[in-house]
Amino acid sequence: MTEIVKVQTPLSTNDPEHKALVYAKNKHRIVQQKLDHATQKLMGTDVKAFFQAEWREASQQWTIGKRVKDRDW
């Protein structure tokens, strides 16, 4: 099922993987995960953005798709 997720990248980090915080509304299924190249490109220089995504139970991560209009949460 497709949901809208918020993707937040750290302003600064010492994590060599540069993981982002990704979660659905009300911080549902909140995880830190490495962003794929396509998502990084869609993020540009923004530190947060909203995307359509699907939760993958097996990997406990989001599969991120199309960027959508910002939400107020």
Q: Give a yes or no: residue 73 inside a domain.
A: no
**Selection from 1, 52, 58 nearest residue 22 by Cα:** 52
Domain that holds residue 27: 2-68
Q: Give a yes or no: residue 28 inside a domain.
A: yes
pLDDT (tens place) for every residue of the chain, 73 residues total: 899 999 999 988 777 778 999 999 999 999 999 999 999 999 999 999 999 999 999 999 999 999 999 999 9
pLDDT at residue 32, rounded to an integer: 96
pLDDT at residue 5, rounded to an integer: 98
For the CA atoms of 50, 1, 19, 39, the dihedral, rounded to the nearest 10 degrees, stands at -50
Q: Give a yes or no: residue 58 inside a domain.
A: yes
The domain total for the chain is 1
Query: pTM of the full predicted structure?
Result: 0.91
